[in-house]
Structure formats: structure tokens, C-alpha cells
Amino acid sequence: MLIFNTKNDLSSYLSSLTDPLIGFVPTMGALHDGHLALLRKAKKQCSLVVCSIFVNHTQFDSKEDFNSYPNTLSSDITKLEKINCDLLYVPDVSDLYAIDEKAKHFNFNGLDPQMEAKFRKGHFDGVATIIEKFFNIIKPHKAYFGQKDLQQLLVVKQLTKQLNLPIEIVSVPTIREENGLAMSSRNKLLSPKHLETASMLYKSLEFCKANKGNFSITDLKNRIKTQFSEQLEVDLEYLEFVNSNSLQTISVFKENGDNAICIAAFVGRVRLIDNIIF
């Protein structure tokens, strides 16, 4: 695997190649099986796979969250080599941002006033700013995003459309721990006890899906809220029942697979998100 630290070296290498089909997997490192699923799919569909590792400060609304983001670069490199990733881009912040450069402002067509955008102010402006930069440097044919971050996935699709870029955004299903907890780099920050407790996010989503014919959405919401309020170390931030394409709130389930339930909660000091689509 070739490792590049600057956008100039990376893009001049890429332009020296003849007609590669480029698959791009952007990450913030602390790689887990969820990332490896993105990379495996990219390897299957593309002739050249580029992964990036960059903890993008402009998408964090809390310094504490940014500073505590796990950094496991040497084991990440081992994992990437094992999976035959072709190129890794690990830039320094100065390679991507000018001094004091802020995130650009975007409008995502109704996808961004709710959920993650509501609770993490400016988050998607930061994500879109860095993704636009990466797309301009790497010019991938396909880019891979996990369904775990459903709102991010839809925002990136919208961004690609707005910028009129010829990039296919490929969605990859969520990979889970044995207890159902969605894989996330933040899981590394959970104590063994909290790793177990955190499975209640997915269990709640599964409960709602299994009981969609038995209770109204309002009743399901209230039941889950009550369960969370009984757990001292868990703090439910939101539980939203939405259309899985528009993210607009729904009040009844549809039969067509367009239903999504999205959840965010703190387990101890660690903020986790998850969703289920059915």
C-alpha cells in the first residue's frame, strides 16, 4: 500500500495512472469491521481503492469530543495492508485547510435541520466541506459510506448532486457487534460494562420494528423513552421515526421499506447513534 501525506503527491500519482476505476473510502481512523466492509466492497467494485484517515475538526461541535477521538494509526495501516487497500491518504490539517479556514455553509434540501444537525451544530457543513475537498483531490468514481450514519449518507448524496459530480455514492449496511451494537470508532471509548449497556440502542430499534403493527409510533416512542429514563448511565438524545429518503418525520409506518428509526444517546460520556430501515 502506498501512503501519501500531501494532496499534491497523491493527485500527481493518481494522474500518472491510466484509467483506474477509483473507489474512495473516507475515514477518521480507528478502523473497525464497519470500515473494512466499506473497503471490501470498494475492492470488489473498483480497480484502485483509496482510503483517507483524517479527523476533520470542522465537523466537531465539541473540543472534548474532537480531542478524545481515538487514534490508532499504526494498527489501521496493518488492517489496510491486510485488506489490500491500494493507497492511503493521511494528511496533516495544513494540507487541507488554510489557517483559520472555517467550514463552508451548505443547504441540504430539508435533510439538515433535524437529528444530528440539530444536536451537533454545523456538523454537516464540516462533513460536506471535507468531502468536497477529498472529492476534488481524489476524483473517485465511487465513494463508500456506511448506513449507520444515515443522515450523513443522504447529505453526501445531496452534496454530490448539488455539485454535479459524476461520483456514485455507495451505501454499505451497518456491521454490528454480537450484542447488536453498531460498530463505531467511538465504541473503543466505552467501558466493558457500557459496551453491554449500549446494545439497548439497537434492541430498542428492533423492538419498534417488530412491534410496528402492535403500537402507534407515539406509543413506541413513549415506551422507548421510558426504558431509557430508567437507565441511569444512559441519556437518550433523540429517537425519530422518519422517511428513510427524505428524513421527514412520519406519523404512521409505510409498507414499502421507506421507514427509518434513528436514535442518538449518550452511554456514559460517549455519544452513539444508530438506525434501522424497514
Contacting ligand PAF within 59-88 (CB under 6 A): 59
Q: Which is nearer to ligand PAF, 162 or 227 (CB)?
A: 162
Residue 37 backbone dihedrals phi, psi, to 5 degrees: -65, -40
**CA angle, residues 13, 18, 19, in degrees to nearest 5:** 110
Nearest approach in angstroms of CB 251 to ligand PAF is 30
- Cβ closer to ligand PAF: 149 or 240? 149
Q: Mark the segment that binds ligand PAF (CB under 6 A) among 23-31, 101-109, 161-169, 259-267.
A: 23-31
Task: Given the residues 32, 35, 123, 194, select the one marked as catalytic.
Answer: 35
263 interacts with ligand PAF by CB under 6 A: no
| Shortest separation between residue 65's beta carbon and ligand PAF, angstroms | 12
List 56, 184, 187, 197, residue binding ligand PAF (CB under 6 A): 56
The interface region with ligand PAF, picked from 26-34, 67-75, 205-213, 237-245 by CB under 6 A, is: 26-34
CB of 28 to ligand PAF, least distance (A): 4
Contact 261, 217 (CB under 8 A): no
Binding mask 128-167 for ligand PAF (x = CB under 6 A): --x------------------x--x---------------
3-state secondary structure the chain: CEEECCHHHHHHHHHCCCCCCEEEEEECCCCCHHHHHHHHHHHHHCCEEEEEECCCHHHCCCHHHHHCCCCCHHHHHHHHHHCCCCEEECCCHHHHCCCCCCCCCCCCCCCCCCCHHHHCCCHHHHHHHHHHHHHHHHCCCEEEEEHHHHHHHHHHHHHHHHCCCCCEEEEECCCECCCCCECCHHHHHCCHHHHHHCHHHHHHHHHHHHCCCCCCHHHHHHHHHHHHHCCCCEEEEEEEEEECCCCCECCCCCCCCCEEEEEEEEECCEEEEEEEEC
Smallest distance, ligand PAF to C-beta of residue 97, A: 12
Active site includes 35? yes
Q: Tell me the window of 5-13, 21-29, 94-102, 197-205 that interacts with ligand PAF (CB under 6 A).
A: 21-29
Nearer to ligand PAF, 146 or 228 (CB): 146
Residue from the set 23, 24, 27, 170 that interacts with ligand PAF by CB under 6 A? 27
List contacts with ligand PAF (CB under 6 A).
26-28, 56, 59, 127, 130, 149, 152
Active site residues: 35
